[in-house]
Structures are given as C-alpha cells and as structure tokens.
Amino acid sequence: MNIGFIGTGNMGRILIDAFIESKAVHPSQVTIMNRTKQKAINIQKQHREIQVVTTAEDVVNASKVIFLCAKPLDIHPLLIQLEPLLTRDHCIVSITSPISVEQIEEIVPCQVARIIPSITNRALSGVSLVTYGNRCTKYFQNYLHDLFATMSKPVPIPQNITRVSSDIVSCGPAFFSFLLQKFIEAAVQETEISMEEATTMASDMIVGMGKLLEKEIFTLPTLQDKVCVKGGVTGEGIKVLEDELGDMFIHLFQQTHAKFDEDIELIGNQFNFTS
C-alpha cells in the first residue's frame, strides 16, 4: 500500500526510517513533502526510491494512508485544504495528541486514526499509542496495527488517558535522559571519573536494565529489592531519592496536562469555528 507523509520533521523522519528499516514498506511506496523541501530531499538521499513532492495535495493523490506530521495548530487548516481530495478509501493518520479522531472526522470524509509514536520506535522498540476513528474499517485497523507492530508495540488508548500515556511513552525518553544526564554530571563533579567514562557506564547500565525488564527477569520493585542489600550503599542512595524527589513527578504531570489543556482550547477554537 502506498503511504504518504505531510511533514518530515523529527517524528516524521523517525517513522519513515523505522518503517523502511523494518521492511514494513518499500521506499518506492512512500511519498513525502515538507514545507522546507530540502528536508524531504535529504531523506530521499538516504532512501533513493522515495518520491518527494511539492504539495500536500500531491501526497494525497499518490497515497492511500496519509500521515499528518505537522504541528497541532497547522492540522486544521491542512484538513480544510485537503478535504476536497479525500475519499472513503483514504485513511488519515494524525500523530499529534491534542486533536481527537472525532475532531478530524468532522472535517474530512475519509477514515481516521491517531497514532502517537515515540523516539524509541527508531530502534524498532517501545510503544505506539493507537486510537481509531468510528469510520476506520477493520481493514485499515489491521493494516495500521501490522505496520506499527514492525517497529513498536501498538497499544490502544481511550481519549481520557491520551496525555498521560503520551507523557510516559513519547515524552518519557526526554524526561529520563535528562535525569540520567544529571546523574552523570553529579558523578563527574563529585569524583575523579571522566565524563566519557561515566556516560559509557550509565548508558550501558540503562540498556542492561531495559533488557532485564523486557525479558521479565525482574519488575521495577523487584529490581530495586535485588540491588538494595540491607544496610548497604544502594539503600543509602535510595534514602536520598526518597527524601529529595518529593512531588517532582506529580508536578511534572500537572505541568504537561496544563499545557495540553491550553493546546486543546486553541485547537477547539479552530474546529468549533468550522462547525
């Protein structure tokens, strides 16, 4: 099946590279466009059989499944622009969390899905968050599930947990890489270890921990129990974390949800004006 991408920024490129690397699609099946055309051309240099086009309309004309990888406030005008070209045989896939499938279905006559990817998908790993519209047929649901299963674990989610799910799956790698970087910087500041040494050790540690969880050798609580020897060094470190972390993660979710609510209001104004 021919698929298209409107927008080839960070997440658009991650999806393109992951789909091709996993052999879920052949480059000749992919049509892409970006407002800065050179970004699309740079992708074509890596995957030479990809077709680069100039307009969003060109993507629709060449594709059955169209990924909208634009900024949230750019989606509504894009849907209005494309609506005359879209038919029931097309499927729009939005990757942005503040816009619901129901809102998109109000504008376009085609089938609709929202699939929120993660940067971890570039390593053919992690989770993708899936919500299908009411008009999305079993055919397209199965196709999209199989497509994303080649490079992630597709997890269906309802609208009411969209933000927190995206915080965990999509934003989580940035949050925890920030914490890991602070962990490394503190080690360098307080000891004689070099930044290079600490970074290598910490990176390999986090990969190894992920494999323990992936293979279900330990859960998060049992992993802590196995490392924490009574009266040992690790336990002393855990005490510091318990004392100083406090409500940090609660505040994190409060902040991301506040921004999400702002985005929903702005986007809602766009869609309500149309209806």
- Same-domain status, 147 and 179: no
**Which of 157, 181, 212 is where one domain is finished?**
157
Write out the DSSP string of 106-157. Answer: HH-SSEEEEEE--GGGGGT-SEEEEEE-TT--HHHHHHHHHHHHTTSEEEE-
Residue 111 and residue 91 in contact, taking contact as beta carbons nearer than 8 Å = yes
Residue 259 falls inside a structural domain: no
Last residue of one domain, picked from the residues 157, 184, 217: 157
pLDDT tens digit string along 26-81? 999 999 999 999 999 999 999 999 999 999 999 999 999 999 999 999 999 999 99
Q: What is the CATH number of the domain that holds 213?
A: 1.10.3730
User: Are residues 96 and 48 both part of a single domain?
Assistant: yes
Strands 111-116 and 127-132: antiparallel
Q: In this predicted structure, what is the pLDDT of residue 229?
A: 77
Domain hosting 125: range is 3-157
DSSP letter at 50?
P
Number of domains in the chain: 2
Q: Which of 8-22, 123-137, 228-242, 251-265 bottoms out in mean pLDDT, i.e. has the lowest? A: 228-242
Residue 34 within a domain: yes
Alpha-carbon distance of 27 to 42, in angstroms, equals 14
Whether 268 is in a domain gets the answer: no
CATH code of the domain covering residue 80: 3.40.50.720
The answer on 146 and 195 residing in a single domain is no
Last residue of a domain, one of 132, 157, 182: 157
Q: Which of 135, 121, 119, 128 is closest to 157 using CA atoms?
A: 128
Give the angle subtended at the CA of 221 by the CAs of 218 and 223, to the nearest 5°: 45
Q: Are residues 97 and 233 in the same domain?
A: no
> Domain for residue 269, yes or no?
no
Residue 104's pLDDT is what? 97
User: What distance in Å separates the CA atoms of residue 10 and residue 250, rounded to the nearest whole number?
Assistant: 28
Residue-wise pLDDT tens digits, 101-126? 999 999 999 999 999 999 999 999 99
Is the domain of 146 the same as that of 184? Answer: no
Q: Based on the fold, state whether residues 148 and 174 are members of the same structural domain.
A: no
- pLDDT digits over 67-94, tens only? 999 999 999 999 999 999 999 999 999 9
At 275 the pLDDT is 47
134 and 231, same structural domain? no
Average model confidence (pLDDT) across the chain: 96
The model carries a pTM of: 0.92
Q: Are residues 179 and 218 in the same domain?
A: yes
Q: Is 70 a member of any domain? A: yes
Same domain, 148 and 179: no
166 sits in which H/E element: helix 162-166
Q: Could you tell me if 152 and 124 lie in one domain?
A: yes
The reply to whether 266 falls in a domain is: no
Mean pLDDT of 235-257: 95
10 in a structural domain? yes
Is residue 261 one of the residues assigned to a domain? no
For residues 105 and 223, state if they share a domain: no
What are 132-165's pLDDT values in tens digits?
999 999 999 999 999 999 999 999 999 999 999 9
Contact status, residue 80 vs residue 274, Cβ threshold 8 Å: yes
Q: In this predicted structure, what is the pLDDT of residue 273? A: 61
Distances (CA, A) of 21 to 14, 25, 141: 10, 9, 22
Same structural domain, 19 and 149: yes
**Tens-digit pLDDT profile for residues 188-225:** 999 999 999 999 999 999 999 999 999 999 999 999 98
